[in-house]
Amino acid sequence: MARKKGAAHSGGHGWFVTFADLMGLLLSYFVMLVAFSQPKTQEIALVAGSMREAFGNQRHTRTSGMIDINGIAPRRKLENVEKVTPDVAGTLGIPKKDIQQDAKGEGTFQADRAFTTAAASLRQALQELPEIAEVSRNVVVEETKEGLDIQIVDQDGRSMFPEGSAQPYERTRKVLAAISPTLRRMPNRIRITGHTSSVRGATGERGAGWRLSSERSVAVRDILSNHGVPDDRFESIIGRADTQPVFPDDPFLAPNRRVSILLVREAPPLPPAK
């Protein structure tokens, strides 16, 4: 069958449709760039959720170790630290929603912003020390109703204190030295609390856990003081033994052994009376 020359182009130029499609794609691309140039946390979360549902990507959060969200690693990140391997660990973080709602009052916004900045500074300080990068999973930073809580936590195979000893390992000392500058800059008072885990079949002295947790708190306090944290900044040094486990259903787990360094959330001082 004969075909006239140029019949393929009858009705218009074939390249124009392709060009129009390209312009449409470029316009959509730039619209998305503008839309995401000023991200909003809630909207981003909705988009991320929609994408996870669309692509079927990990509907259940499974986390391991220290994973920061805006510089803050919530304690729930520790929940699966012993039971989930890194290859199946998740990356979704859920910061606590009740912090600013339950801490209302004058100056609260400034305090929360200072805590968030401090948490980011702590994370940066740890990242800048490659020799202690491995123990970053032993450090949990969480903003709570009481303040900014920095927890140095044991894990199976990597403890921060020798067993039964009040003096920390050298890697723990380096962690404390790394966070000391941030603690010095903050005006908040500091509360240090030591915790131990329960011991299976323990038959020794009943007060050993109280003594050990107290002595570890004192040791942490001394190290921070030696790195420039003023003595008058320490509100209290406490030992809790195994009375406040992170995992009440399994008080023998290693993460129950920890030392908490809390920057206490306090109301701003009142102006002097005239």
CB atoms inside a 10 Å sphere around CB 125: 17
> What is the average per-residue pLDDT within 137-159?
87
CA pair distance 39, 36, nearest whole angstrom: 5
Chain segment 186-242, per-residue pLDDT in tens: 889 999 999 999 988 766 677 899 999 999 999 999 999 999 999 999 999 999 999
| 134: pLDDT strictly greater than 90 | no
> What is the average per-residue pLDDT within 258-267?
90
Band of residue 110 on the pLDDT scale cut at 50, 70, 90: low
Burial class (CB in 10 A: 0-12, 13-18, 19+), 93: middle
CATH architecture of 101-264: 2-Layer Sandwich (3.30)
Band of residue 130 on the pLDDT scale cut at 50, 70, 90: confident
Q: Which of residues 156 and 111 earns the better pLDDT score?
A: 156
pTM higher than the cut 0.75: no
Chain segment 4-47, per-residue pLDDT in tens: 555 555 555 678 888 888 899 999 888 888 776 665 655 666 66
Contacts 24+ apart (CB under 8 A), 226-230: 227/176, 227/177, 227/180, 227/181, 228/180, 228/181, 228/184, 229/180, 229/183, 229/184, 229/190, 230/184
Q: Which of residues 50 and 238 earns the better pLDDT score?
A: 238
Alpha-carbon 35 to chain mean position:
28
Band of residue 135 on the pLDDT scale cut at 50, 70, 90: confident
| 128: pLDDT strictly greater than 70 | yes
Letter string b/e over residues 209-218, b meaning 16 or more CB atoms within 10 A of that residue's CB: bbebbbbbbe
Q: What is the pLDDT of residue 71?
A: 41
For residue 273, report the phi and psi dihedrals to the nearest 5 degrees.
-70, 140
> What is the average per-residue pLDDT within 143-161?
88
Q: What is the pLDDT of residue 177?
A: 92
| 75: pLDDT strictly greater than 90 | no
Q: What is the pLDDT of residue 239?
A: 96
* For the chain, percent of residues with pLDDT exceeding 90: 31
Return the structure tokens found at 24.
Answer: 């449409």
